[in-house]
Amino acid sequence: MEKKVDGIISALEERYPDALCALHYKKDYELMIAVRLSAQCTDARVNLVTPALFAAYPTLEAMANANIADVENYIHSCGFYRQKAKDIVLACQMLIEKHGGKVPGTMEELLKLPGVGRKTANLLLGDLYNVPGSVVCDTHCIRICGRLGLSKGKEPEKVEKQLRAILPPEKSGDFCHRIVLFGREICTARSPKCAECPLALFCQEINKG
């Protein structure tokens, strides 16, 4: 398995040298907000919405003091906007009240923030703090790692645990970003481009026949 994982990581690094988060942000709390908005929504849509939102509330304090109904208007097109708006404002309030205005750097503290689950927490730990072993289990990751035979099942926490056991900790965060890029370009949910797949050699689905 180690040889297979190394081969997959190398192929992804070659195709996607810049393993950047697709969400646009300048401040740590802006990434927290963007990830919350991305639930059941595309990163592209979030990136269309956040410029106006961040311009309307340019500081953490402004966001924490925002009227939730007003925030709803800015993020309406992201879906589930009522719950997301509430989570965003309450989470910003908690950052000020309990964390000195900074996004905390531990899984335990992050999971106490409104609207923050393990996927969001892992992304924040990896992107803001470069914490080794941060595995972001989104739909792309679960689908593709299953097809590659790196994981089994579709429960995010179980897949995360399986991937933590086999991915080099220092490369796990970038691996997850690259998997998202790969999932959008090649290994799509409905019509994967298997004929041009750089990971075909390692794919359980392609080679099972």
Token look-up 């750089």 returns 198
Two tokens, residue 59: 């500081």
Residue 139 confidence (pLDDT) above 70:
yes
Say if residues 92 and 29 touch (Cβ distance below 8 Å): yes
Active site residue 102: no
pTM over 0.75: yes
- Computed on alpha carbons and rounded to an integer, the radius of gyration of the chain in Å comes to 18
Residue 20 confidence (pLDDT) above 90:
no
pLDDT of residue 205: 83
In this prediction, residues 145-165 reach a mean pLDDT of 96
Domains and CATH numbers, the chain: 2-19+134-207 (1.10.1670.10), 28-129 (1.10.340.30)
pLDDT of residue 34: 98
In this prediction, residues 144-150 reach a mean pLDDT of 96
Which listed residue (87, 119, 127, 174) is catalytic?
Answer: 119
pLDDT of residue 209: 58
Which listed residue (43, 86, 138, 158) is catalytic?
Answer: 138
- Mean of per-residue pLDDT scores for the chain: 96
- Distance in angstroms (rounded) separating the CA atoms of residues 5 and 126: 20
Active site residue 98: no
Helix, strand, coil: what percent of the chain each, to 5?
65, 0, 35
In this prediction, residues 84-101 reach a mean pLDDT of 98
Amino acid, single-letter form, for residue 132: P
Residue 73 confidence (pLDDT) above 90:
yes
